[in-house]
Structure 1
Amino acid sequence: MTRFLAAGLFVLWGCVAAIAQTLPQSDSLSSDTLAPSGAALLTLLQSQSELIVASSRRTIQPAIDAIADSGLAEAQELLQLWQGKKLLLRKSDGSFFRGEKITGGEYELFDLDTGVSVGMGDKTDLKQIKPNSGVRAMIGTALVRFQLEDPDIAIRRAAVTSIKRDPSAAALLPLRASIPGETDDDLRRLKQRQERLLTIRFDLDTVARLEAINDMSGDLGVDVRATLNPLLSRAMHIDTNGPPAGANIAAEWRIDDGLTKADAYAALVERDLAPALLQQDEMKSALEAHIVAGRVAGVPLAQLSDPAMRQKAYDGLVAEGLARPAPTLQEMADAIARYRFFDIYDEPAVDVTNAAAATMARIDTDVVVNQAADLALDAISLASIYFLAAIGLAITFGVMGVINMAHGEFIMMGAYTGYVVQQIIPDHTISILVAIPAAFAVTFGAGIAMERLVIRWLYNRPLETLLATFGISIALQQLAKNVFGTQARPLTSPGWLDGAWVVNDVVSISYIRIAIFVLALGFLALLLFIIRRTRLGLETRAVTQNRSMAASMGINPDRVNMLTFGLGSGIAGIAGVAIGLFAKVTSELGNDYIVQSFMTVVVGGVGSIWGTLAGAVMIGFSQKGIEWLNPSNTLAAQTYMIVLIIIFIQFRPRGIVALRGRAAGD
């Protein structure tokens, strides 16, 4: 009977349980129902209240981590309020609010969950949470994980920039987690790069670090080298037995094989493993401290000026136990022999240091190659400037044989023409396009006037021509000072020429230099066309080859001379506009280029366009090479370059590209 009763109760209990499963459950009766997000946030804040109120940099990290790791949607906003000093604690009940100061001592309080105003609060019942700069920085680090996945790309990019500026181990995992969801390709590559760098520095997985080091092996960025260098930092370890167990040994030093006895003993003294050498100041102090009746250890004071007597007096103090004995050479040798000297890497992982060393070696090799490329680009840029400055002089000097010392002033006139045009036309792009033909026209006219008024009367009189053009040079400089003053005038380049073409962290060249190079190539092509395809070019070549024969064939040499001089002067004016874009426009601008222009013409070959180009390249590369060997003294570099050119002319007096035919013998 009892068994039947128990079975019946069991069946009845099962039916009741089944019915209960089908009934709706009240929230107030369900213990598994989660609290609202706002309540959870308030509970979290109250649980960390003591740490938050204290805001001590030494103890605040657990509170920051608790909020950041809570998974609550309001966590980011809460951290921002805390960082911005807008978080308030109501003392009466321990509740937290966002507060806005109204007037006097009252604050308007806003609910952290809904953002709705909940009334006013008196200053006496509120405590403003004011984190110091250190705590704000820690909060900022915690905010990065939210900012890395923010919908606003500007915020995401700023977060990556913040990590780059201040890398930390805490940023590694959030950064790595944000990469798969990144929608912008450029920003994703930036994140991947920073993730690789953080992995090298902070990841605990050696395999992951090795992969990251290998991935960055071809990168020449300064930040890559800055990340790898600490892995190869080392410190000297000295021990009688050997290095500590498990130490990552970089090298063991042998006396007189990379480590001198003096350096070895100095290292022992630094670590208090051997007595210090006796210094003169120490000896002097000991002698002064033990003067008795005009003597020191029996030696009269008058005799202490003698080094031997000073040593005798000090030895007497040592014998009496009043001074420290200096270590002998044998004692120093014995001390060194007792120890072994090692360099130990700060990084404990051998595989990591080996990989870092191999990667740094490859990077150093690539850096040298790229530095050579960068130097070559600089040399080509300088050569293009010298070519523009010298090509006009090459034409006049080659055709007319006139040593024009005022050629630099035509360059200066072109630069000032560009400045005047920019004062009239504020748009820098249009003004430069107008300035180039304007400078040509101004200096072309000035060149023709100079040839008609002065040069034509001095043909075949080189000394008088040199003196006359030198006087004109001084006069033009003074005229420029009177008109424009002595202050440098700006010749501003268009905005699209700002900046530089950056290949990597080693190789770069400014857009202005690229534009000048293109301009030089354009003028090379134009001059070749004029010389080879036009009547003026034909007549110019004829006069250059044989002046008398050209005149007998009906060519007017005076007209050719005039137009040629004007053409050379006009090209100098265009060179002035180009040079003024990156150099100071002053009355002395031409002085900086007249010597190089003459050297370019003479080295390249008088009267040859290709020779002028070759001379500009030779001088540009020579100057940059010498400056690279002697970077601290550019004046000495120019002096060395002139010496090299003088030596070159001794072996090839007609230049790189010498004229052929009758002109070669003139």
Structure 2
Amino acid sequence: MLRLFLLALALCLSLPAGAQAQSLQPILQTHADEVLKPGRRSVDVVLVDLVASGLPQVVPFLEAWRDREIVQRDEDGQFFRRKGGELIDLDTAVVAGPAAGTKLTEARPNGGVRRAISEALVQFQLSDPDIGKRRAAVDAIARSMDASQLGPLTAAIETETDPELKRVKSRLAGMLGALFASTPDGRVAAINALSGDLSVDVRAVLNTILSTQDDVAKELPEGANIARILKPGTDLTPQQAYARLSAAGLAPALVTQSDIRAALIAHIDGGMVGGMPVAALDNDAGRAAAYDALAADGVVPPRVSAEAEAEAIESHVFFQRYAEADPAVTDAARSVLNGIETRVSFSQAADLGLDALSLASIYFLAAIGLAITFGVMGVINMAHGEFIMMGAYTGFVVQQFVPDYTVSIIIALPLAFALTFGAGVAMERLVIRHLYHRPLETLLATFGISIALQQLAKNIFGTQARPLTSPGWLDGALVINDVIAISYIRIAIFVLALMFLALILLVLNRTRLGLEVRAVTQNPGMAASMGINPDRINMLTFGLGSGIAGIAGVAIGLYAKVTSEMGADYIVQSFMTVVVGGVGNVWGTLAGASMIGFLQKGIEWLNPSNTLAAQTYMILFIILFIQFRPKGIVALKGRAAAD
């Protein structure tokens, strides 16, 4: 500790007298023996003089010394750095001659000395002009968390020019101050300054201060910083309590059955042991009596009776004491840690909510097209997931021709809508229109189309997952604090879901097509009598729902894998979203997506190790929910609600 203190002091003061020296050789000659054969104590003086000199060549010398490259030329006692078969001058860094043919004595610092040299180098690097070296020095201090680094680190904060690195230095100095400040008041102030930091390493520092050790005594020791008093029977079992007494030497050890057996076997003499024949030792009572006889003769330690065990436990106090002796420090650490853990709990809940909201937006994008087709037409389209897959592959193909990922996504979104809109219209005209009011046949037909589209995608793109790369501005995540973070891609998907919600509401409520769709949804017969062509509306509606699925595929492809089976990952959730929210209702789809997204994330949080079980529980919950609200969260109004 003396060496480390002197190093820190020398670095902070940078003595002017030493700074006037121009060469390392006088310092090295003064400590020649310590340089060649340094020890953990003798290296202190050398390091302090080197640091105090303020010479720029000190850092290269320390690096070479640490790496065992320093040698002394025997003829004149001068020190050099040996590298690549050449002798390098320590002051000018130029080649002074070949190493071969010259009598040299090597400096051989041991492991402890090399660690001391490394610590001195870290202190130099804290103020190095190279920001990379300053960052490396801060990282080294963060790994070691040594008291000797507090002074140099604090001194280096004021001269730091990089704002982010200055913040890191200040934060690290606060943690070191909480652990190693010279006064209790200084430590308490440093601990209180950490109250707004939710990071894991700050919590680790506070937990280090609050570390405890188990203890037992006749009575609580005066002046001890007691963390907790343990009550036998509640906090400790009687066996655990007595074991602690025995380990502390406050009570004799219990004699176990195996101890009795071993003792009896060791003292058999002529078929007798403890005055009893061996044949009589076939039960616990007989063995105990023989052992007690041996104990009465002083051959073995006596057994501890249950009464003596209970009395020993009753006459002692069991407690945990803090390793930190100052109660003011531990009280401050406990108060700050409790506040941080409370904020962490709220932050974890908020982070879980953001994840659930992100998942809900993905489900909404995947299900909104299905909600339109299923709600208006009553068609169970099992190929809806494949329209999502087609949209994702459209984005992949566009990126093969447009290398700018931002431009490619802008092109892919309308192109995916047009492609899947056309595919949806073709599917409705060729297949669906012939199967209206025949739900089983429609389900089987669309399921067959789903398989065919998957196989077609495999034939074209193969079975390997294809990358749909997001633009660079979507890389990374929005970090609110050390607990709450959400990726920019998920934010973009959430914004896209909001845009689609607004667009669909605008189309349904402010356009003629929307008016006709709502009319056909609520009462197809009356809509037809008013001059609306339900057949045309069904075609456009199916195409619109399919086109929206294509756009959803581009968005989902930025987040998930793009394969021929990707649609199957979302078809079940899409149907659940539509049914739970309310068939044929945009707001119902939004409510259903929110409910399923939050429910799934909540179940996964309760059972994080088994996502399959979480999905099973979610489906069971939805089945129960539908039993009580069969028309969904937001039910249709009008005659369609009775169908």
TM-score computed with the length of structure 1 as normaliser: 0.87
- Supply the distance in 2 between the matched residues of 1:196 and 1:620 (Cα, whole angstroms): 40
Residue 653 of structure 1 and its aligned partner are, at CA, apart by 1.9
Residue 253 of structure 1 and its aligned partner are, at CA, apart by 2.6
Match of 1:20 in 2: none
Match of 1:663 in 2: 640
Q: Of the candidates 615, 618, 629, which is equivalent to residue 652 of structure 1?
A: 629
- Supply the distance in 2 between the matched residues of 1:57 and 1:571 (Cα, whole angstroms): 73
Cα pair distance change 1:176/1:382, threshold 3 Å = same
CA contact (8 A) 1:68 1:76 kept: no
Q: Which range moved further: 471-480 or 553-562?
A: 471-480
Cα pair distance change 1:129/1:421, threshold 3 Å = farther
Cα pair distance change 1:283/1:317, threshold 3 Å = closer
Instruction: Indicate whether 1:48 and 2:25 are aligned.
Output: no
CA contact (8 A) 1:109 1:121 kept: no
- Supply the distance in 1 between the matched residues of 2:77 and 2:288 (Cα, whole angstroms): 75
Instruction: Indicate whether 1:234 and 2:212 are aligned.
Output: yes
CA displacement 1:66-90 (0-9 Å, x = unmatched): 3223444433332233234442222
Q: Of the candidates 87, 90, 93, which is equivalent to residue 76 of structure 2?
A: 93
SS at match of 1:320: helix
- Supply the distance in 1 between the matched residues of 2:512 and 2:28 (Cα, whole angstroms): 91
CA contact (8 A) 1:85 1:130 kept: yes
CA displacement 1:183-221 (0-9 Å, x = unmatched): 333322222111111111111221111111111111112
Instruction: Indicate whether 1:516 and 2:493 are aligned.
Output: yes
Which one-letter code corresponds to 1:298 in the other structure? P
Q: Structure 2: which 5+ residue stretches go unaligned? A: 1-16
CA contact (8 A) 2:18 2:54 kept: no
Q: Which range moved further: 501-510 or 255-264?
A: 255-264
Cα pair distance change 1:165/1:123, threshold 3 Å = farther
CA contact (8 A) 1:414 1:572 kept: yes
- Supply the distance in 1 between the matched residues of 2:238 and 2:457 (Cα, whole angstroms): 67
CA contact (8 A) 1:287 1:314 kept: no
SS at match of 1:250: strand
Which one-letter code corresponds to 1:129 in the other structure? A
Cα pair distance change 1:242/1:36, threshold 3 Å = closer
Cα pair distance change 1:61/1:408, threshold 3 Å = farther
Instruction: Indicate whether 1:37 and 2:44 are aligned.
Output: no
Residue 154 of structure 1 and its aligned partner are, at CA, apart by 3.2
Cα pair distance change 1:34/1:265, threshold 3 Å = closer
Cα pair distance change 1:570/1:354, threshold 3 Å = same
- Supply the distance in 2 between the matched residues of 1:593 and 1:606 (Cα, whole angstroms): 17
Residue 153 of structure 1 and its aligned partner are, at CA, apart by 3.0
Match of 1:398 in 2: 375
Residue 295 of structure 1 and its aligned partner are, at CA, apart by 8.8
Residue 394 of structure 1 and its aligned partner are, at CA, apart by 0.2
Match of 2:11 in 1: none
Residue 498 of structure 1 and its aligned partner are, at CA, apart by 1.9
Residue 499 of structure 1 and its aligned partner are, at CA, apart by 1.6
- Supply the distance in 2 between the matched residues of 1:465 and 1:185 (Cα, whole angstroms): 64
Which one-letter code corresponds to 1:259 in the other structure? L
Match of 2:192 in 1: 214
Match of 1:565 in 2: 542
Q: Of the candidates 160, 165, 169, which is equivalent to residue 147 of structure 2?
A: 169
Match of 1:22 in 2: none
Residue 505 of structure 1 and its aligned partner are, at CA, apart by 0.9
SS at match of 1:526: helix
Match of 2:568 in 1: 591
CA contact (8 A) 1:298 1:313 kept: no
Q: Of the candidates 382, 388, 405, which is equivalent to residue 411 of structure 1?
A: 388
- Supply the distance in 2 between the matched residues of 1:288 and 1:412 (Cα, whole angstroms): 77
Cα pair distance change 1:596/1:277, threshold 3 Å = farther
Instruction: Indicate whether 1:82 and 2:65 are aligned.
Output: yes
Cα pair distance change 1:554/1:198, threshold 3 Å = same
Q: Of the candidates 188, 201, 206, which is equivalent to residue 223 of structure 1?
A: 201
- Supply the distance in 2 between the matched residues of 1:366 and 1:573 (Cα, whole angstroms): 41
TM-score computed with the length of structure 2 as normaliser: 0.90
SS at match of 1:259: coil
Match of 1:441 in 2: 418
SS at match of 1:459: coil
Q: Of the candidates 154, 165, 175, which is equivalent to residue 197 of structure 1?
A: 175
Q: Residues 267-666 of structure 1: matches in 2 within 5 Å?
A: 267-279=244-256, 281-283=258-260, 285-286=262-263, 298-300=277-279, 304=282, 309-313=283-287, 315-321=289-295, 325-666=302-643
Which one-letter code corresponds to 2:218 in the other structure? T
- Supply the distance in 2 between the matched residues of 1:392 and 1:281 (Cα, whole angstroms): 73
Cα pair distance change 1:597/1:250, threshold 3 Å = same
Which one-letter code corresponds to 2:203 in the other structure? R
* Alignment size in residue pairs: 622
- Supply the distance in 1 between the matched residues of 2:468 and 2:420 (Cα, whole angstroms): 18
Residue 600 of structure 1 and its aligned partner are, at CA, apart by 0.8
Q: Structure 1: which 5+ residue stretches go unaligned? A: 1-32
- Supply the distance in 1 between the matched residues of 2:548 and 2:397 (Cα, whole angstroms): 18
Residue 339 of structure 1 and its aligned partner are, at CA, apart by 2.2
CA displacement 1:470-513 (0-9 Å, x = unmatched): 22222323333333333333322222222211111110111111
Which one-letter code corresponds to 1:452 in the other structure? R
Q: Which range moved further: 266-275 or 212-221?
A: 266-275
Q: Which range moved further: 115-124 or 157-166?
A: 115-124
- Supply the distance in 2 between the matched residues of 1:458 and 1:473 (Cα, whole angstroms): 16
